[in-house]
């Protein structure tokens, strides 16, 4: 205790003397180790939680311009700070720190193990390499991690909030003629991998006059939790299985294909191709990369697709090639978000009807 070894001032003086001896190299190795351990314990004991918080949080955040230091011990928030205080952005930080960041940290080792480049035919993805399980699949793995799954959904909803909606800019009416043939179409829309049916319901609300059923499809664990509304029904379906709804006016895939390499994409597209008829169109909502000067947001997404799924974001030429290989013709690419490259790709099995309607391209190669 201080009463036995002198005042705090005397103790401070002794510490300064010992420090001088250490700097002069007069302390042996064992004593040096003991002093180091003791000094670390002393530092922790002397610092109050407020001082630690000041070092770890405020001073560092101020240096990074996340907050502004207005005086000694005084700070105020910035726009960046207020964004991070948003629950949705906070969930995004947590999700990326807990899930994506560990995969990216292992990515150099994965690239080294694969001689600098990974083949899409490999079974092991960077994600599987990171978690140490060659059989792990991202979304099933995520579904077992409740906290990360919750953060993922919150972040996705926040990330896309306020963005231009595809129904606000895509000329859906241009591809649908309300003539006698259209009135005979039993199914207007099949939203493949449509989750809880949110987008399908929006189409029904936006175009209540259009004839035909609207269907959203997904796996059983998702559909069983969803409710139907008049004219909009859920259906259990795995998009790697043959499409049970044939001859629909519109088939839709939104943010599905960028999760998969080319070969699985061809399987998904092949099942849709077999279900489509002359008047059918396929709408693919995904990023279309420019050939040069891609935006950082879209390239970040591209690297994330590689890390998690060994998949990719695709350029216009890559989309045209992928769809042509599945027997589909791209007749239009409509940009929804300029910065991200988010687009709606329109593909058909037969251009004849669409030539008569004077929409889109007249040749697959010209898309």
Catalytic machinery residues:
258
Count the Cβ atoms, other than its own, within 10 Å of residue 93. 13
> What is d(CA 332, CA 334) in angstroms, rounded to the nearest whole number?
6
Structure tokens at 246: 């044939």
E strands, 26-135, in order: 67-71, 74-77
Q: Output the six-digit token pair for 67.
A: 């907050």
Alpha carbon 60 to chain centroid distance?
A: 28
Q: Where are the alpha helices (DSSP H) in the chain?
A: 2-5, 8-23, 29-46, 49-53, 60-63, 79-85, 87-95, 101-113, 126-131, 138-143, 146-160, 166-169, 180-183, 198-206, 220-223, 262-275, 296-309, 316-325, 352-356
| Integer CA distances (angstroms), 108 to 98, 105, 114, 115, in order | 18, 7, 10, 10
Asked if 292 and 347 touch (Cβ cutoff 8 Å), the reply is no
Q: Quick check: 167 and 206 in contact, CB under 8 A?
A: yes
Give, as one character, the DSSP assignment of residue 239: T
Tokens 């998690």 map to which residue? 308
Cα–Cα distance between 224 and 218 in angstroms, integer? 10
- What span, in angstroms and rounded, lies between the C-alpha atoms of 112 and 106? 10
Whole-angstrom distance, CA of residue 333 vs CA of residue 346: 6
DSSP lists the bridge partners of residue 343 as 286, 335
Token pair belonging to 212: 């035909």
Q: CA 287, CA 298: separation in Å to the nearest integer? A: 7
Measure Cα distances from 265 to 136, 225, 240, 254, 357 in Å: 19, 27, 9, 13, 29
């Amino acid at each position: 205790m201080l009463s036995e070894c002198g005042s705090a001032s005397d103790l401070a003086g002794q510490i300064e003397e010992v420090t001088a001896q250490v700097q002069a190299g007069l302390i042996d190795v064992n004593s040096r180790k003991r002093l180091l351990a003791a000094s670390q314990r002393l530092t922790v004991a002397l610092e109050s939680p407020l001082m630690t918080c000041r070092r770890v949080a405020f001073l560092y955040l101020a240096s990074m311009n996340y907050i502004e230091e207005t005086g000694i011990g005084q700070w105020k928030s910035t726009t960046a700070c207020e964004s991070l205080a948003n629950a949705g952005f906070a969930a995004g930080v947590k999700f990326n720190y807990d899930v994506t960041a560990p995969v990216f940290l292992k990515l150099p080792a994965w690239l080294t193990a694969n001689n600098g480049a990974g083949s899409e035919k490999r079974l092991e993805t960077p994600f599987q390499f990171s978690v140490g399980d060659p059989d792990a699949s991202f979304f099933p793995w995520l579904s077992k991690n409740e906290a990360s799954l919750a953060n993922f959904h919150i972040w996705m909803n926040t990330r896309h909030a306020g963005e231009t909606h595809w129904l606000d800019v895509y000329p859906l009416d241009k591809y649908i003629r309300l003539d006698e043939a259209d009135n005979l179409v039993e199914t207007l829309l099949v939203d493949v991998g449509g989750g809880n049916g949110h987008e399908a319901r929006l189409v029904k609300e936006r175009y209540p006059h259009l004839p035909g059923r609207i269907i959203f499809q997904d796996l059983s664990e998702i559909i069983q939790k969803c409710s139907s509304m008049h004219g909009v029904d859920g259906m259990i379906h795995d998009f790697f299985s043959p499409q049970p709804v044939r001859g629909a006016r519109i088939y839709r895939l939104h943010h599905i294909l960028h999760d998969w390499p080319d070969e699985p994409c061809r399987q998904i597209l092949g099942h849709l191709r077999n279900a489509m008829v002359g008047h059918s169109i396929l709408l693919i909502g995904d990023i279309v990369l420019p050939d040069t000067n891609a935006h950082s947001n879209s390239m970040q997404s591209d690297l994330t697709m590689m890390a998690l799924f060994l998949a990719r974001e695709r350029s216009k030429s890559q989309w045209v090639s992928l769809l042509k290989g599945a027997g589909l013709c791209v007749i239009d690419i409509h940009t929804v978000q300029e910065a991200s490259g988010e687009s709606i790709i329109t593909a058909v099995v037969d251009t004849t009807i669409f030539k008569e309607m004077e929409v889109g391209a007249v040749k697959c190669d010209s898309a």
